[in-house]
Structure 1
Amino acid sequence: MPWMTPLHRDPAFYQLLSDSYTRLLGVPLVPQPMSAADAAEWLYEHAPFAVLAHNTDPDPVFIYGNKAAQRRFEYSWDEITRLPSRLSAEAPNREERQQFLARVERLGYEAGYKGVRVTQSGRRFMIEEATLWQLLDEQGKLHGQAVVIPRTRDL
């Protein structure tokens, strides 16, 4: 699926995020019904939780990070969408992160995850109650993985 519009403004990408989340978890990604364009804007600009997505490259790169994620990880849109997702964790925590990603690959999603992450400036923080899921379109094609991070705390 080639993305021409920046993904944070693309209703089709929002639909992929939202539809795959709802199919796997049985609950909506946004708290109230709205058009795809309005929901895409709300999720990017106003959501009180972080949302990140990475692609299917052998070394996956973030393709989406809403404003809450950008603030927490200390990256701009242009910076976060060039970042290999493994670099969101410190080297000692990358193996645990990789095992988590592999479980999600097998099961479709996993909820309740917590782990240490690192900001661009090197500050460590804990993500809590995160839900990671497979970005699967209606035909079952995998586009990557996404995560909702409802809570974090400084370490």
Structure 2
Amino acid sequence: MNPDFLDLLADSHLRLVGTPLTGPETATRWLHEDAPFGLLAHDAADDPRFTYANATAQRCFEYEWEEFVGLPSRLSAEPDRREDRQRLLDTVHRDGFATGYRGRRIARSGRRFWIEDVTMWNLVDGDGVLVGQAATFLRWRDA
């Protein structure tokens, strides 16, 4: 867990979405280990790869850290759901963030589940460079 990266997640969220990423607890350990929501990030490549997944996201997708980080993020959705996912990514890239998304995802085991109340935002570093996108999902349930 890189505290500087978690600071980038939180700072970009506050700047673009306009609300804090965390509640009263702002410790990076809380975001990584104890947050009651999934938190994911991928890089800005043409075929983005996950660069971060908190413990909640790892449990939902059934991947350990070493398997998750580096995985192409498109593989989190089934092929017939990737167009919907891509529309979300394009909207966020254009507008800076999007809220209210709901999408079906696939876990490592093949279990399908819905992520709901998704907020996705661009990750922009201190120099204004787009380094990726991040998302929180507040709820999830089996499909």
Same fold flag (TM > 0.5): yes
- Given the alignment, which residue of 4, 10, 22 partners 2:14? 22
Aligned residue number for residue 4 of structure 1: none
Residues 70-108 of structure 1, C-alpha deviations (whole Å, 9 max, x = no match) = 000000000000210000000000011011100000000
Matched, 1:109 2:101: no
Aligned-residue RMSD, C-alpha: 0.9
Normalized against structure 2, the TM-score is what? 0.97
Aligned residue number for residue 115 of structure 2: 127
- 1:108 counterpart letter in structure 2: G
Matched, 1:45 2:37: no
Counterpart Cα distance in 1 of 2:12 and 2:102:
22
Count of aligned pairs: 143
Counterpart Cα distance in 1 of 2:116 and 2:76:
15
Counterpart Cα distance in 1 of 2:62 and 2:88:
23
Counterpart Cα distance in 2 of 1:137 and 1:82:
20
Structure 2 unaligned blocks of 5 or more: none
Matched residues, percent identical? 51
Q: Secondary structure at the match of 1:27?
A: coil
- Given the alignment, which residue of 72, 77, 83 partners 1:84? 72
